[in-house]
Structure 1
Amino acid sequence: MRYFILILGVCFCHISEAQTLRSRTVKLMGARFDITIVAEDSLKAEKHIDDAIAEIKRIEYLISDWIDTTQVSHVNQQAGIAPVKVDQEVIALTQRALELSKLTNGAFDISFAAMEKIWKFDGSEMEMPSRAAVKKAKAKVSYRNIEIDTVQSTIFLKLKGMKIGFGALGEGYAADRCREMMLARGVKAGIVNGSGDMNTWGRKPDGKPWMIGLAHPFHRGDLYAIIPLEKSGAAVTSGSYEKFAEINGKRYSHIINPATGYPATGLSSVTVFGPSAELANGFSTSIMVLGSKKGKKLLKKFPGYTYIMATDKGKFIHSETIPLETYRVKNND
């Protein structure tokens, strides 16, 4: 989803003291990725972008559950049948997901993917799914039924019909990996934004911080805030206003509450800032389910992360460490 607008304030050309900024937009992992690199010249910048795209594609063909041949798809195909051997990278990502599930008491759960056949959020839904259908699908959702064998490097889903998906972590993980790869190469500045899962490093060629505009959840086309990304490189927004189902005049969020099997309510958007886009995404998704009170309590345990939330009723709540004067607000009622 396009929750962020990158505010460059420059043209994509030679800018200052042998620094060139280049950007490219591609569709990967079922999402729009905007990749921006600052390098000594255009050729090097474009090569770095090529390599970032290759890394995202590598991750996509490892963890995407909509591609039948990936390791995660094999895990889903063998649900209730047998453990599946996967790369250590997939084991590690799954372990982090399970740790987040325990931390949030199940508000975050990668096995929510079993609900995808019930809730599509693609514009095709004309009526609510039946309670029986929701109950049947929800019975397959529980992180406690995911078994990891680190010695054999296998993942096993205990119940037939179970499914795991990394839609809430994968794009952030890819953004983090690209940032790490570029920093290891000595690329001093850039941005990888996977449809709202963004990680940045360094500064613009003019020495100023990267600026992002947060899309207003209640006024389409407007920005709610313009924020400099100085201390926290990653910024992730989860929201109900870009992807949703509208049934009988009521809007339903695409973020499912694993405890009920129904869309989360109470918050319209949650933006989390911090060092990791993967973890920021996990937090923003969890808080959409937990609500603002429990969400703020959760993030107090992680001082490197801050937040801005918008309730369904139009109220904005921000972290105490984000003073009001550090960002501009438009149409804040």
Structure 2
Amino acid sequence: MGGHGTVTVIGGSAALVDEAFVLIETCEALWSRFLPASDVTRLNWAEGAPVEVDPLTIRLIEAMREGAALTGGDFDPTLLPDLLTAGYRASRVSPSLETTLPASATSPGRLDDIAIEGMTVRMPVGTTLDAGGIGKGLAADLVCEFAMAHGAAGVMAELGGDIVVAGRAPDNRAWLLGIEDPFETTEHLTTVCVVRGAIVTSSQRKRRFGEQHHLIDPRSSTSAATSIQTVTVIAATGARAEALAKSGFLREPAEFLAWLPTVGGAALLIDADGAQYVSANWERYS
């Protein structure tokens, strides 16, 4: 998932945390574009042929489609060729692992034309997928679903900065969650209270390749040109929050902050000067 993770479980069996990490490792093995045997890599190299995949990969593709529709295409998981061009080829965790694509790979791909029949997926020739941030968010969602279904009274899953919470908080009220200061990454800029749902922070400061970064604008096929450094979104699920966060780098801040509450999100934006901008509904969490 490109980073470290923690799982906190309240109640339930002693084995729940270990089982949660097995689920996380399963998602990584299925969705990583850096692993040659993953479902995502096999799909990216299938050249239009049908590929049988795990049910969790079907969930991933469905979440991708929902995110793209929700954001009007701001979120687009088919921009992997552009991401490689920007410089993001090697895994940050295991730099010896690099993504390669067939010569047919084009950007953007045809997300809506991916055919799913049972557990078989057929992608149009040239279309490739990158689980990226939405994979982290969805994996955290799945961990919380699993823990609550197996006897936990409450759970928090944090994967690479994406946090999803469900059930009873330690204080029986709300989960107190910190937001990292983008300029002093060892410090919390502020904290928020979340009863249930997800909070994710997307940053253009962490995955940089010279002047380029990993947040690709589908309109230009290059890194998004914006003064916004980080976008923090609170939403119902980690997958949804990840998709919504992408819009914060592509839309004008005022437009984004006015729109986000209409689709069930709240946000904090921080620009290059350290100025903070929040949606009108942010105060309910602060």
Query: TM-score if structure 1 supplies the norm length?
Result: 0.73
Cα deviations by residue, 1:261-315 (Å, 9 ceiling, x for unpaired) = 2111321111111220111111112322334234234423323x21111123432
- Which position in structure 1 is the counterpart of 2:244? 283
For 2:237 and 2:204, the matched residues in 1 are separated by 22
Check conservation: 1:191, 1:200, Cα contact below 8 A: yes
* Larger gyration radius, structure 1 or structure 2: 1
Q: Which amino acid aligns with 1:120?
A: G
Give 3-state SS (helix, strand or coil) of 1:271's partner.
strand
Superposition pairs for residues 173-322 of structure 1, below 5 Å? 173-230=138-195, 232-247=196-211, 252-266=212-226, 267-303=228-264, 305-322=265-282
Q: How many angstroms does 1:156 deviate by?
A: 3.4
Check 1:152–1:37 CA distance in 2 against 1; reply closer, same or farther (3 A cut): closer
Is the alpha carbon distance of 1:278 and 1:103 closer, same or farther for their aligned partners in structure 2, counting shifts above 3 Å?
Answer: closer
Q: Hey, what's the Cα distance between the residues in 2 that align with 1:69 and 1:209? A: 40
Detail structure 1 runs of 4+ shifted over 4 Å in the superposition: none
- 2:114 pairs with 1:148: yes
SS of the residue corresponding to residue 79 of structure 2 reads helix
Cα distance, 1:122 vs. partner? 8.2
**Where do residues 25-174 of structure 1 align in structure 2 (5 Å cutoff)?**
29-39=1-11, 44-45=13-14, 47-79=15-47, 81-121=48-88, 140-144=106-110, 147-151=113-117, 153-160=119-126, 162-174=127-139
Structure 1 position 317, deviation (Å): 1.2
TM-score in terms of structure 2 length = 0.84
- C-alpha separation in 1, matches of 2:178 and 2:189: 7
- Please say if residues 65 and 111 of structure 2, whose CA atoms lie closer than 8 Å, have aligned partners that are also in contact: no
How far apart, in 1, do the equivalents of 2:131 and 2:186 lie? Answer: 29
Deviation at 1:199, TM superposition (A): 0.6
What amino acid sits opposite 1:60 in the alignment?
A: E
In the TM superposition, residue 50 of structure 1 has moved relative to its aligned partner by 0.4
> Structure 2: how far apart are the matches of 1:104 and 1:195?
23
**Amino-acid identity (%):** 24
Give the letter for the 1:150 counterpart. Answer: I
Is contact 1:114-1:164 (8 Å) kept?
no
8 Å CA contact 2:82, 2:222 repeated in 1: no
- The 3-state SS of whatever aligns with 2:113 is strand
In the aligned structure 2, how far is the partner of 1:39 from the partner of 1:152?
Answer: 36
Distance 1:99 1:233, change over 3 A: closer
Would you say the 8 A contact 2:154–2:168 is kept in 1?
yes
3-state SS of the aligned residue for 1:260?
coil
Q: Does structure 1 conserve the Cα–Cα contact (< 8 Å) formed by 2:6 and 2:157?
A: yes
Per the alignment, do residues 291 and 156 of structure 1 end up closer, same or farther by CA in structure 2, a change over 3 Å counting? farther
Aligned residues: 272
SS state at 1:228 partner: strand
SS at match of 1:55: helix
Deviation of 1:203 (Å): 4.1
Letter in 2 for 1:91: I
Root-mean-square deviation (CA, aligned residues, Å) is 2.6
The residue number in structure 2 matching 1:25 is none
> For 1:201 and 1:98, how far apart are their aligned partners in 2?
24
Cα deviation 1:47-69 (Å, max 9, x = unaligned): 11100011112222222221111
